[in-house]
């Protein structure tokens, strides 16, 4: 995004962030989207932009508008959600109302806030995907042994399947944005694998992913971003370690583990007595992946990391069984055993 617009975005994000009353929120909404608001003002200045930059400026401006709308909407949903839980009202069955956003959605929005502040843009992608974008463009050709790591659910073999990972959105994005670099993107979604269901596994799970492609991006940027994200979500005292891992789409690859929230490293059934919980996978984007998207790896480098949202949410809300997240008991209590 254009640097001036980026600055405006960050300025408004922090303003929206500090809002505590409905009145203040409405004031900011008018300041941004009112008839004489910032967005209309910026649109009216398009004519002053040089013709060759005008198209990109317009696209950036539209993106700014969409993102600020979304942030305002999230803020009001969170507020009304809090209001609801503060003032329980009896339902027709005489039970108190306990409605709230799904815990996964709550985590997703928390992460969105973190990444928007870091200048990332939010994206989404299709759930039914082609083998090419789910595997081949992520450096997993046909018959590659890494395919065994992801037991896939095919819609029409061998071409169409349910995406097994949010990296699929990464491969679509790299292909689409190869001529509009640098890229800072964050996205979340449901992913699907042919897994047996038990307390820690499910065939539908949710991932969050962030991708950066720029010049001179290093492992230091990756670890720094991940550390910041863990601290924002779990507080400054969170203990995270990084281990070398293999993922075909990155080189080198790392896996962050968080010290178990339940036993604090001693060992318990949640962490399978390891004391640590695997929180996802990350690494520097493999040069072959960039090449397949028509991006020159001699000029551009990047990192990607993906995390299971389910385990994060469970860690945050102290939920001990992943099936709770897919079950019908929407009125679960966070500390229910």
**2 binds Zn ion, rule: CB under 5 A:** no
Cα separations in angstroms, 65 against 6, 24, 34, 255: 12, 19, 12, 35
How big is the site for Zn ion, counted in residues (CB under 5 A)? Answer: 6
Q: In this chain, which of 105, 262, 278, 288 binds Zn ion, going by CB under 5 A?
A: 262
**263 binds Zn ion, rule: CB under 5 A:** yes
Angle made by CA atoms 109, 113, 233, in degrees to the nearest 5:
80
- Pick 258 or 271: Cβ nearer Zn ion: 271
**42 binds Zn ion, rule: CB under 5 A:** no
User: How near is the Cβ of 255 to Zn ion at its closest, in Å?
Assistant: 17
- Pick 226 or 270: Cβ nearer Zn ion: 270
186-205 mask for Zn ion (x: CB under 5 A)? --------------------
**268 binds Zn ion, rule: CB under 5 A:** yes
Q: Give burial (CB, 10 Å; 0-12/13-18/19+) of 152.
A: middle
Give the binding range for Zn ion (CB under 5 A) out of 48-56, 113-121, 223-231, 264-272. Answer: 264-272
**271 binds Zn ion, rule: CB under 5 A:** yes
**315 binds Zn ion, rule: CB under 5 A:** no
Give the binding range for Zn ion (CB under 5 A) out of 8-16, 158-166, 185-193, 257-265. Answer: 257-265
Which positions lie near Zn ion, rule CB under 5 A? 260, 262-263, 268, 270-271
């Amino acid at each position: 995004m254009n640097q001036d617009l980026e600055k405006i975005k960050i300025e408004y994000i922090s303003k929206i962030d500090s809002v505590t009353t409905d009145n203040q929120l409405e004031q900011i909404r008018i300041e941004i989207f009112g008839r004489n608001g910032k967005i209309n003002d910026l649109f009216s200045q398009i004519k002053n932009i040089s013709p060759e930059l005008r198209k990109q400026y317009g696209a950036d401006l539209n993106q700014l508008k969409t993102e600020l709308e979304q942030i305002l909407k999230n803020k009001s949903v969170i507020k009304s959600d809090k209001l609801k839980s503060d003032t329980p009202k009896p339902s027709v069955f005489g039970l108190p109302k306990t409605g709230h956003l799904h815990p996964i959605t709550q985590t997703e929005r928390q992460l969105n806030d973190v990444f928007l502040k870091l200048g990332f843009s939010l994206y989404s992608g299709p759930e039914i995907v082609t083998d090419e974008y789910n595997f081949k463009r992520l450096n997993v050709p046909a018959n590659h042994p890494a395919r065994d790591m992801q037991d896939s659910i095919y819609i029409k073999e061998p071409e169409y399947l349910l995406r097994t990972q949010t990296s699929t959105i990464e491969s679509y994005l790299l292909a689409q944005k190869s001529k509009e670099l640098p890229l800072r993107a964050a996205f979340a979604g449901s992913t699907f694998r042919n897994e047996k269901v038990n307390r820690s596994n499910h065939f539908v799970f949710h991932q969050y992913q962030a991708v950066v492609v720029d010049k001179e991006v290093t492992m230091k940027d990756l670890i720094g971003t991940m550390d910041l994200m863990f601290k924002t979500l779990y507080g400054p005292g969170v203990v995270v370690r990084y281990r070398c891992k293999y993922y075909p789409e990155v080189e080198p690859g790392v896996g962050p583990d968080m010290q178990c929230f339940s036993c604090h490293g001693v060992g318990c059934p949640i962490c399978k007595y390891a004391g640590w919980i695997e929180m996802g996978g990350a690494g520097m984007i493999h040069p072959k992946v960039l090449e397949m998207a028509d991006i020159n790896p001699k000029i551009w480098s990047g990192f990607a990391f993906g995390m299971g949202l389910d385990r994060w949410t469970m860690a945050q809300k102290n939920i001990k069984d992943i099936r709770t997240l897919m079950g019908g008991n929407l009125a679960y209590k966070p500390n229910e055993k």
